[in-house]
Amino acid sequence: MLFSSMTFIWLFLPIVFIGNAILQRFGSCKAANILLLAASLFFYAWGEPVYVLLMLVSISVNWMAGILIDRFTRQRSIVLFLDIIINLVLLAYFKYADMLVETWNTITHSDFPLPQIALPIGISFFTFQAMSYVIDVWRGECLAQKNWADLALYISFFPQLIAGPIVKYKDISEQISQRSISAEKTASGIRRFCYGFSKKILIANVLGLCADNIYSLKISAVSCVMAWIACLAYTLQIYYDFSGYSDMAIGLGKMFGFDFHENFRYPYCSRSIREFWRRWHISLSSWFRDYLYIPLGGNRKGTARTWLNLLIVFFCTGIWHGASWTFVFWGIFHGFFSLIERGRFGRAISRCHILSYIYTLLVVMSGWVFFRAETLSKGFALVKRMFLPWLYSSTGYSVWEFMNIHTVLVICIGIFGAGILQYLASLTKLNARWKYSVPEMMFCTVTFCLSLLSLVGDTYNPFIYFRF
């Protein structure tokens, strides 16, 4: 089930919300947890009726690992090792099997058939979340959860199950057993949810259409202008889609009494790639920092080792996002710039504010081209078109075939809403007056309604001639 579906908005959410509110008010936290767990499993099963069993297996394996680590202190490292192996093997099998076989075939000129295993939605998120729990138990940073249901709720909680943020168990363990909801916190959550919902529907979906249309063209049809429009559209789409989902997750969390960490902090306002990664998908970068970079030695073992550790982390960051070499390239691309920023280059760039903003945006936007392209060669071809405009001026296609006034309006809103508007509002203290004001409530209501209209509009699937 997706947040941006009518089944979720008009059926699942109001039923679970009202049920939880009743149980919290007249029942107990425990009863509410049972409802939320059942709802979360139902939520996942709706989209993955078979793979919900996989998630249950994953939860059980990690729950057992936590208990064993807690009980058998001498064998705890072996248990941890086995647990990590099991999690990574599951992830590798379901997510990377095709990529591995295809790569093997390319290198060895073989012709092994691709396994074509369907990818369970959210497997990267819930696997990482589960591993973080077991590692934290091993480190002694939290106690093992003896109650299977409570751990299952942590791993499968529907607000953050499909698209994060990746929540650490130690940040949420107390809230599982004791939390309260209040009208004020609920309203705060609703507000956050509305912003996220509107970002996803009114901005990300619209720009996604534009980007998809241009990216689906054969490369000879793509001019310089089209390549830039597609790049800009996708840059905004992925931010508003991802941060929108995080907003919805954080908002839903509050509505049910939970507090999650922020996952995005206006990443396109960064002045370096290193800063970008402190603002973009914060939960993922902090996961890799805590569970990969620091255990590898971080920056404590000399320059060469630091560079290697960083490249490993960025390689893993890339491949975590998808089973394709384009994602790996994107990760290494970011890793490269992170590395060179540690030296003279970084110091030079940081001297000029404007230059540093432009540099960071160009690197990030160029990186997204590879992230989105189906193949590396198409990615390079698109980037060539962006930066060598005199070679690719006209192709017989007009950009207006792939966008309209609505798209232009959304692009403008998207650019301003990615940090510029918020910065200007903070200068004039408008943001403090706006938050929780009546005009803001009206704004959220209007954008929520427009989003609903858009979602319902998407269900309209007419044909010019009757389709039997």
Partner 1 sequence: MKTVHQLTHAQEMSDLPGRKKSMAAIILFLLLTACPWLLWLIPGRSVQNANTENRNLAELPVFSFETFAEYPMLMDAWLDDHLPFRSSLVEWNSAIDYFLLHSSTNELVVPGKEGWLFYTENHSTDYYKGRNLFSEKKLKKIAQNMQSTKDALEAKGISFALVIAPNRERMYPEYLPDWYGIPAQPNALDQVVSYLREHTDVTVVSPYDRLMAEKEKSPETILYHKTDTHWNDLGAYYAARELLDALGIPFPVGEDAINIEKKDDTPGDMADLLNLKRLITPGETYVVSGYQAEDEETVEFSFFGHIRCKAPSRRTGRILVARDSFCSAMIPVIRSIFTESDMVHHRAFENSLIDAEQPDYFVYEVVERQLNKLLKFKYE
Answer whether 80's CB lies under 8 Å from 135's CB.
yes
Return the range that interacts with partner 1 (CB under 8 A); candidates 56-64, 278-286, 384-392, 435-443: 435-443
Q: Running DSSP on this structure, what letter comes out for residue 118?
A: P
Return the structure tokens found at 80. Answer: 């941890």
Q: Which two tokens stand for residue 231?
A: 């790049």
List 105, 188, 350, 447, residue binding partner 1 (CB under 8 A): 188
Interface with partner 1 includes 390 (CB under 8 A)? no
Residue of 342, 344, 288 whose CA lies nearest to 318: 288
How far, in Å, CA of 350 to CA of 170, rounded?
A: 36
Residue window 286-315: x/- pattern of binding to partner 1, with contact defined by CB under 8 A: ------------------------------
Q: Does 18 bind partner 1 (CB under 8 A)?
A: yes
Please identify, using beta-carbon distances, which residue of 301 and 435 lies nearer to partner 1.
Answer: 435
Any catalytic annotation for residue 321? Answer: yes
**121 contacts partner 1 (rule: CB under 8 A):** no
Q: Between 107 and 183, whose beta carbon lies closer to partner 1?
A: 183
**How many residues bind partner 1, per CB under 8 A?**
71
Residue 465 gets the label, from left (phi > 0), alpha (psi -120 to 50) or beta, of beta
Q: Report 44-73 residues binding partner 1 (CB under 8 A).
A: 45-47, 49-50
By CB under 8 A, tell whether 422 contacts partner 1. no
Which region among 90-98, 274-282, 382-390, 394-402 touches partner 1 (by CB under 8 A)?
Answer: 394-402
Closer residue to partner 1, CB minimum distance, 48 or 83: 48
Under rule CB under 8 A, residue 184 binds partner 1:
yes
Site for partner 1 in 141-180 (CB under 8 A): 141, 170-175, 179
Among the listed residues 112, 345, 387, 400, the single contact to partner 1 using CB under 8 A: 400
Q: Which of 109, 111, 394, 465 binds partner 1 (CB under 8 A)?
A: 465
Our CB check for partner 1 shows the closer of 210 and 383 to be 210
Catalytic residue, chosen from 109, 261, 281, 321, is 321
| Contact with partner 1 (CB under 8 A) among 3, 4, 9, 418 | 9
Spatial neighbors of 372 by CB under 8 A, at least 6 apart, are: 211, 215, 234, 238, 379
Residues 6+ apart with CB under 8 A from 269: 279, 357, 418, 419, 423
Task: Give the list of residues 6+ apart from residue 110 with CB closer than 8 angstroms, or none.
Answer: 104
Q: How many beta carbons lie within 10 A of that of residue 386, not counting itself?
A: 20
Q: Is 400 exposed, middle or buried (0-12, 13-18, 19+ CB in 10 A)?
A: exposed
Cβ neighbours, 10 Å, residue 30: 14
Note the Cα 462 to chain centre separation in Å: 32
For residue 110, state whether it binds partner 1 (rule: CB under 8 A): no
| Of positions 259, 275, 381, 447, contacts partner 1 by CB under 8 A | 259
The closest of 327, 419, 416 to 372, measured between CA atoms, is 327
Catalytic residues: 321
